[in-house]
Structures are given as structure tokens and as C-alpha cells.
């Protein structure tokens, strides 16, 4: 009996959960599926007729790795934060045009941040969060560590950075509009 209960718990915890989000204009729907442990899927399809126009996968160490998802007000762009590794997340933008979808290439805003501090790279932790749209401008926050061995902002607060990023999207081109220093993630008290 214990084996059956344990197997049932294991099966339920490894199952999938579907979440559906419609575009503001009601033309598209995004179906988010969290599959067994290492793979999450986004399927985007036309609401009318159900034609699938895009599928994207986030493979990672942990489930539920599509962290944030937000449509632009005009339903032409979808911004997603997906997990990269256990200690990273990344911004992805999908553009919708003539009932097709394409993932856009983003400028390397990390290099802009690192260059301001005369560094070639940062540490192992790098996170994006707080997606916001204003017309064709996507804003979000980028936080991370400068070294490989720090895994928590409270361990060594001065080893963490926090920036506000703005990307401008015109047609299929994404440009870095602003990179602004924010207050540190944690300050020593």
C-alpha cells in the first residue's frame, strides 16, 4: 500500500499542467505545458481553427521554467523569461506577423553591463525578471553575480549587480535602448 501511495505521489508530481493565455486581441493563444522534470513547452496557435504557429521548449534542471510571459498591448510581440540553467534565466521575444511567429535575436545586454565594469563576463548567476511593455519597448530587470562562487546576494552583497534594461522592437529588429544601474540587490546593514 505504501508503494502505491508513493508511486501515485511520484506520478502526480511529475505530471504536466496546462495553462492557456490569450493574446490581448484574442487572435492567438499560448498553451504552457510543464512536462516531466526537464522540459517545459510553449505552444502558440491561432484561436480560430487551432493552427499551431510556434512551439518553443525550455530544457533545464527544474520544472516550471517559463517564469514570466507577457503580451505586447497590440498582440504582435510575446516576451518570455525562461530558465537557462539552475542559476540563470533569459529573455526571449517572439514576433507575430501574417499568422506566423519567429523568435527575435536580442542584443547582448550582458556585455553592456560587464563592459561598464571593465569585465569580460559575470558570475554563474544571471537573472531577468519583471517584464513590462510600453508600446514597442520591453523593460525588465537584470540581476546577477560578478564571480562564480557566490550563490546568494546575502553572502556577499557587493558582488551582485542590478540593472534596468529597455529594448526597442521595430519590425523584426531589437535594439538596446537603455541600460540603467539600479540600487544593489542587497545592501549591508
Query: How high is the pLDDT of residue 138?
Result: 98
Whether residue 1 lies inside any domain: the answer is no
Query: Is residue 9 scored above 50 in pLDDT?
Result: no
Query: Is residue 188 scored above 80 in pLDDT?
Result: no
Q: Which residues pair with 126 in a beta bridge?
A: 88, 144
**Mean pLDDT across 82-111:** 88
Length of the chain: 189
Whether residue 11 lies inside any domain: the answer is no
Whether residue 39 lies inside any domain: the answer is yes
Query: Is residue 16 scored above 70 in pLDDT?
Result: no
The x, y and z cell numbers of residue 159, run together, are 558582488
Least confident of 34-43, 100-109, 133-142, 156-165: 34-43
Whether residue 5 lies inside any domain: the answer is no
Residue 17 CA to residue 35 CA, distance in Å, equals 7
pLDDT, greater one: 58 or 153: 153
Whether residue 129 lies inside any domain: the answer is yes
Beta-strand ranges (E) seen in 26-65 are: 28-34, 39-46, 52-59
Q: How many domains does the chain divide into?
A: 1
Beta-strand ranges (E) seen in 98-159 are: 100-103, 126-134, 137-145
**Mean pLDDT across 22-39:** 81
Residue 139 CA to residue 133 CA, distance in Å, equals 6
| Per-residue pLDDT tens digits for 136-175 | 999 999 998 888 877 777 778 888 899 999 999 999 999 9
Whether residue 2 lies inside any domain: the answer is no
Write down the mean pLDDT value for the chain. Answer: 80
The whole-angstrom distance between residue 35's C-alpha and the CA centroid of its chain comes to: 17
The x, y and z cell numbers of residue 29, run together, are 493563444
Query: Is residue 52 scored above 70 in pLDDT?
Result: yes
Whether residue 84 lies inside any domain: the answer is yes
Rounded to two decimals, the pTM is 0.81
Whether residue 82 lies inside any domain: the answer is yes
Residue 28 CA to residue 114 CA, distance in Å, equals 37
Domain limits for position 122: 19-181
Query: Is residue 185 scored above 60 in pLDDT?
Result: no
Residue 122 CA to residue 106 CA, distance in Å, equals 18
Query: Is residue 6 scored above 80 in pLDDT?
Result: no
**Mean pLDDT across 9-19:** 45
Amino acid at each position: 500500500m505504501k508503494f502505491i501511495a508513493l508511486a501515485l505521489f511520484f506520478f502526480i508530481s511529475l505530471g504536466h499542467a496546462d495553462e492557456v493565455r490569450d493574446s490581448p486581441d484574442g487572435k492567438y493563444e499560448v498553451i504552457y505545458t510543464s512536462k516531466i522534470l526537464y522540459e517545459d513547452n510553449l505552444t502558440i496557435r491561432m484561436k480560430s481553427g487551432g493552427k499551431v504557429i510556434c512551439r518553443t521548449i525550455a530544457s533545464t534542471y527544474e520544472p516550471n521554467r517559463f517564469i514570466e510571459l507577457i503580451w505586447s498591448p497590440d498582440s504582435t510581440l510575446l516576451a518570455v523569461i525562461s530558465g537557462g540553467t539552475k542559476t540563470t534565466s533569459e529573455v526571449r521575444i517572439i514576433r507575430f506577423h501574417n499568422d506566423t511567429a519567429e523568435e527575435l535575436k536580442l542584443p547582448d545586454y550582458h556585455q553592456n553591463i560587464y563592459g561598464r565594469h571593465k569585465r569580460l563576463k559575470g558570475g554563474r548567476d544571471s537573472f531577468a525578471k519583471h517584464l513590462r511593455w510600453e508600446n514597442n519597448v520591453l523593460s525588465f530587470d537584470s540581476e546577477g553575480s560578478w564571480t562564480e562562487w557566490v550563490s546568494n546576494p546575502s553572502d556577499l552583497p557587493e558582488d551582485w549587480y542590478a540593472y534596468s534594461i529597455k529594448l526597442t522592437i521595430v519590425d523584426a529588429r531589437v535594439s538596446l535602448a537603455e541600460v540603467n544601474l539600479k540600487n544593489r540587490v542587497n545592501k549591508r546593514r
